[in-house]
A and B are shown apart, each in its own frame.
Chain A
Amino acid sequence: MTGETTHATRGNHVVPPERAEQGFRTIGEITTDNPVVVCRGVNVHYGDKHAIRDVSLDIAHNEVIAMIGPSGCGKSTFLRCINRLNDTIPTARVSGSIALDGRDIYDKQQDVVQLRARVGMVFQKPNPFPKTVYENVAYGPRIHGLAADRTELDEIVQTSLLRAGLWEEVKDRLESPGTALSGGQQQRLCIARTIAVSPEVILMDEPCSALDPIATARIEDLIDELRRNYAICIVTHSMQQAARVSQRTAYFHLGDLIEVGSTDQIFTNPRHKLTEDYITGRFG
């Protein structure tokens, strides 16, 4: 079957035959009108393991793009390329080009600290700092020197918490530890922490996987809300979630970007066999 053929060619770094036959690497429109992030030919190796091969994709302003695909296909790896968090893994090697607003982020001139202030990230497991709620949100503005004085910092903290939909719940306990909040609150705290530095792109790696449906719904509303100001790239294992929050969807398979398209099209009319198998639940 197709899956087996794909496996057989893994080691030789060859384009899967079913893709080569069709004459292009990724099905669908990888480019957009107003891109913030432009990725071209991105490859990631972990030591000998080729985790991502030749991925090209644009991420647009004011758009939510969902990354879906079976476990281990390289969604997180791709996401972590965009804020260079893969730099912290000694065995990881990234090649290809990723540009943020036209400037290559892997350029020697690019400062990683500044990049990560522009590209925020929300992780799968809520990971607030073991500090107070206030300190959690104030941390980013503080290290980047965004607030001139305490009142300005207070303001940033409040607006961030408001926009993350957490203000009402925590306004009386700003000084209690962030780790004492519930899982869903913690995740929203992490989102508040991320938007406190006003990034241009927000990367979310399965932000709702540890949350119940109500907390998930709140975060999805929040994502929809945040789209007005940010470009959002979200990894999810839930088709419904992808369908609900995203405008575009990218399907990854064993390190390849198989298909990209509008969320509607991907879910109602997938063009690639693998995408269809995955969407219809026959696979992954």
Chain B
Amino acid sequence: MSEQSASGALKPGQKNRQRVEAGLRRRYRAEARFRAYGIAAVALGLSFVAMLFVSIVSTGWTIFRQAYVLLEISYDADTFDPEGTGDPEVIGSGDFSAPIKASMRELFPDVEARAERRMLYGLVSDGAQFELRKRLMAGPEAVGSRETLWVLADDRVDQLLKGKIGRDQPADLRGLSDEEVAWIDRLEQAGQLELRFNRSFFTQGDSREPEQAGIWGALVGSALTLLVTLVLSFPIGVAAAVYLEEFAAKNRLTDFIEVNINNLAAVPSIVFGLLGLAVFIQLFGLPRSAPLVGGLVLTLMTLPTIIIASRAALKGVPPSIREAALGMGASQVQMVMHHVLPLAMPGMLTGAIIGMARALGESAPLLMIGMVAFIVDVPGALTDPSTALPVQVYLWADSPERAFLERTSGAILVLLAFLLVMNLAAVILRQKFERRW
């Protein structure tokens, strides 16, 4: 409206300006309010994440260190290789608890009663013998020699050192008698008992003894399972999405398929576990508890997510690029392969990573196919029995020993770290693919 058309005291332009100004304040207020809601929502979310991290890290961070006892070990020729054959079979069948017991007796010569000695030996973990055996088998020439070695202490010793068992608690609650506590103090003062980097947690599989229980088995199990999931679900999901989006005729059948894919994304994961049990294990006879089957089940679960995300990514490719390619005489396949797919790839990767993150945290379907079993060995192949990180968390959280509490939190930390590494890889990959147009 022009300024010249003035009439009366208030020019029409002025009137409008006043109206706009009155409304302007309201608009700004609404905007500020909206921004405050947003900030509040983000702050709330962040505070929950912070709480989660604080609680997990505060109970879990001690897992990096574990109590070890310094012992003087002598590999007596009489015990391990009386005939001097050097045969590993003979050496391996020796009694490896003997040198540990001998060493403990040497440290505490005043302990003589049988029952007390048994208590004394109990301060060292059973795992120490296996460690010794492994060392001697690796170097049989050490028979007859001595070495000083840090060996795993019992979990109660560990918990006492970390202050998770109170010294002033009554003995039966503590799980340690007064004598035991006194011996521990003596060892600690002599510098022969200390918290050291927890090697076994990061290199071993599960165990009934908390101090020997490691996360490595579950970590490898999860990695193998997710490898199967990724290798199957990404190509299949992308191929399905490309076909449905780019090639399939739009008719009743494809509508029906689309609706069902969306439905599948909402099916509870445990149902996929049951399906996996019925089809892969009972029908196809694949082994139970294997990462292969776990991966197949998680593939079923992840596929809908990847297909839906990939289709959305394909839809997001500007039609002008398609027309440009077709106009140049590219065939449908060439158009998809050369132009559409590279542009949709970042979106597809996002879908894949959402699916994979969900698969990593999934335990219910794995329970159904037996990946919940107690498995000590670290899996070496896709068909080896194994467990997975979330299942391991579940198993440890269920164990009565106090030391497993710390391990549960430690396992969650490892799970989160795994997730972080996975997401980081995805972000880097996505950035590589991201292009402007």
State the interface size on chain A (CB cutoff 8 A).
27
B148-187 contacts to A, CB under 8 A, are: none
Q: Closest residue of chain A to B327, judged by CB?
A: A121
Q: Closest residue of chain A to B249, judged by CB?
A: A90
* Contact partners of B324 in chain A: CB under 8 A: 123, 127-129, 190
Contact with B along A179-202 (1 / 0, CB 8 A): 100000000001001100100000
In the complex the two chains form, is A123's CB within 8 Å of B437's CB?
A: no
B255 within 8 A of A: no
Rounded to whole angstroms, the CA-CA distance of A90 and B321 in the bound complex is: 18
B294-350 contacts to A, CB under 8 A, are: 318, 320-331, 334, 338-339, 342-343
A125 within 8 A of B: yes
In the complex the two chains form, is B329's CB within 8 Å of A114's CB?
A: yes
B217-264 contacts to A, CB under 8 A, are: 250
For the complex formed, measure the closest distance between the CB of A131 and the CB atoms of chain B, giving whole angstroms.
8
Q: Closest residue of chain A to B343, judged by CB?
A: A130
In the complex the two chains form, is B339's CB within 8 Å of A129's CB?
A: yes
Rounded to whole angstroms, the CA-CA distance of A194 and B323 in the bound complex is: 13
B19 within 8 A of A: no
B432 within 8 A of A: no
Q: Closest residue of chain B to A128, judged by CB?
A: B324
B27 within 8 A of A: no
- Determine which residue in A90, A120, A130 has the highest number of CB atoms from chain B within 10 A of its CB, and name it: A130
In the complex the two chains form, is A143's CB within 8 Å of B326's CB?
A: no
- Determine which residue in B330, B339, B342 has the highest number of CB atoms from chain A within 10 A of its CB, and name it: B330
In the complex the two chains form, is B322's CB within 8 Å of A88's CB?
A: yes
Rounded to whole angstroms, the CA-CA distance of A101 and B320 in the bound complex is: 29
Rounded to whole angstroms, the CA-CA distance of A129 and B325 in the bound complex is: 8
For the complex formed, measure the closest distance between the CB of B136 and the CB atoms of chain A, giving whole angstroms.
63
B26 within 8 A of A: no
Picked from A85, A113, A130, A144, the residue with its CB within 8 Å of the CB of B435 is: A130
- Determine which residue in B250, B322, B328, B343 has the highest number of CB atoms from chain A within 10 A of its CB, and name it: B328
In the complex the two chains form, is B334's CB within 8 Å of A143's CB?
A: yes
* Contact partners of A115 in chain B: CB under 8 A: 329
In the complex the two chains form, is A88's CB within 8 Å of B326's CB?
A: yes
* Contact partners of B330 in chain A: CB under 8 A: 113, 139, 143
Assuming the contacts A130-B343, A130-B436, A177-B436, asked whether A113 and B320 have C-beta atoms less than 8 A apart, the reply is no
In the complex the two chains form, is B326's CB within 8 Å of A127's CB?
A: no
Assuming the contacts A85-B323, A125-B320, asked whether A130 and B437 have C-beta atoms less than 8 A apart, the reply is yes
In the complex the two chains form, is B320's CB within 8 Å of A127's CB?
A: yes
* Contact partners of A125 in chain B: CB under 8 A: 320
Picked from A85, A114, A130, the residue with its CB within 8 Å of the CB of B327 is: A85
Rounded to whole angstroms, the CA-CA distance of A121 and B331 in the bound complex is: 15
A163 within 8 A of B: no
Rounded to whole angstroms, the CA-CA distance of A34 and B176 in the bound complex is: 106
A236 within 8 A of B: no
Rounded to whole angstroms, the CA-CA distance of A88 and B343 in the bound complex is: 20
B335-383 contacts to A, CB under 8 A, are: 338-339, 342-343
* Contact partners of B323 in chain A: CB under 8 A: 85, 88, 121, 123, 127
Rounded to whole angstroms, the CA-CA distance of A90 and B343 in the bound complex is: 23
For the complex formed, measure the closest distance between the CB of B244 and the CB atoms of chain A, giving whole angstroms.
14
* Contact partners of B328 in chain A: CB under 8 A: 116-117, 120, 139-140, 143, 193-194, 197
Rounded to whole angstroms, the CA-CA distance of A21 and B437 in the bound complex is: 52
In the complex the two chains form, is B331's CB within 8 Å of A113's CB?
A: yes
For the complex formed, measure the closest distance between the CB of A165 and the CB atoms of chain B, giving whole angstroms.
20
* Contact partners of B343 in chain A: CB under 8 A: 130
* Contact partners of A26 in chain B: CB under 8 A: none
* Contact partners of B321 in chain A: CB under 8 A: 127, 129-130
* Contact partners of B322 in chain A: CB under 8 A: 88
* Contact partners of A43 in chain B: CB under 8 A: none
In the complex the two chains form, is A179's CB within 8 Å of B329's CB?
A: no
Q: Closest residue of chain A to B324, judged by CB?
A: A127
Rounded to whole angstroms, the CA-CA distance of A17 and B322 in the bound complex is: 41
In the complex the two chains form, is A179's CB within 8 Å of B437's CB?
A: yes
Assuming the contacts A88-B322, A130-B321, A130-B437, asked whether A120 and B327 have C-beta atoms less than 8 A apart, the reply is yes
A-B contact pairs, 11 of them (CB 8 A): A88-B323, A116-B329, A123-B323, A125-B320, A127-B318, A129-B321, A139-B330, A139-B338, A143-B330, A143-B338, A194-B327
The list of the 7 closest CB pairs from A to B, nearest first, reads A116-B329, A127-B320, A130-B437, A117-B329, A121-B327, A127-B324, A130-B435
